[in-house]
Amino acid sequence: MTIQKKLYLVIGGLFGLGILLIVSMVFSSKILVEQLKSFESSALKVENNQAIVIAHERFMGDLCRTLSKGESYSTSSTHETCILGKWLYPFMNSNEYKELSNDLQLKFNKLESSHEKLHNIAIEFKNSTEISEKLRNDIINTAPMLFKDVMSALDTYSQILKTNEKNILAFANKEIYFINIAMVLISIVVVLIGL
């Protein structure tokens, strides 16, 4: 085999390697884009979860403050129409919920029940002209326990979302590393073909 044929074989091999690297890089880039979309979706879920927590902390604060100051309490939401209810019921019908462990599903069922009872106490307080001892006890003792159930489930969900974000970022970093290596190799191949 002549030197010219060997040179053509080397150039052809390098060209083929370059094409393979480019195709691999494009495929890796598509995976990376999907991972970034997943990360964005997870970040929006974390943000929504934080908004739910803040709204219900305010809800509990208002409930206790108005009782302690003897003010009338007003709420316009029920367990279905508040920010948590608007998120919870579609979530409990989603595939994401169905893929949760049984323990976590039970925690969300407890959240749903506690959340409904919590809003019922607030509605009873709003509609009452005189605070009965039972209602006072419900607001002072029962409502914080119900609130704790709600916050516990939301906190667990938040931890799951944060773990998912870490996993997505770790995978995305591997893809970025592979793309960078492929770009370096393609550069080397182009230089070798040029020589």
For residues 37-63, average pLDDT: 89
Q: What is the pLDDT of residue 193?
A: 67
Q: Decide if pLDDT at 195 tops 70.
A: no
Q: Decide if pLDDT at 87 tops 90.
A: yes
Domain locations along the chain:
3-194
Identity of the highest mean pLDDT range in 1-5, 63-67, 140-144 = 140-144
Residue-by-residue DSSP string for the chain: --HHHHHHHHHHHHHHHHHHHHHHHHHHHHHHHHHHHHHHHHHHHHHHHHHHHHHHHHHHHHHHHHHHHTPPP-----TTTSHHHHHHHHHHTSHHHHTS-HHHHHHHHHHHHHHHHHHHHHHHHHH-SS--HHHHHIIIIIHHHHHHHHHHHHHHHHHHHHHHHHHHHHHHHHHHHHHHHHHHHHHHHHHHHH-
Give the tens place of pLDDT for each residue, 112-171.
999 999 999 999 888 888 888 898 888 889 999 999 999 999 999 899 888 888 888 888
- With contact defined as beta carbons under 8 Å apart, do 159 and 127 qualify? no
Q: What is the pLDDT of residue 146?
A: 93
Q: What is the pLDDT of residue 173?
A: 81
Residue with more model confidence, 118 or 178: 118
Chain Cα centroid distance, residue 102 = 19
Q: Decide if pLDDT at 172 tops 90.
A: no
Q: Decide if pLDDT at 185 tops 80.
A: no
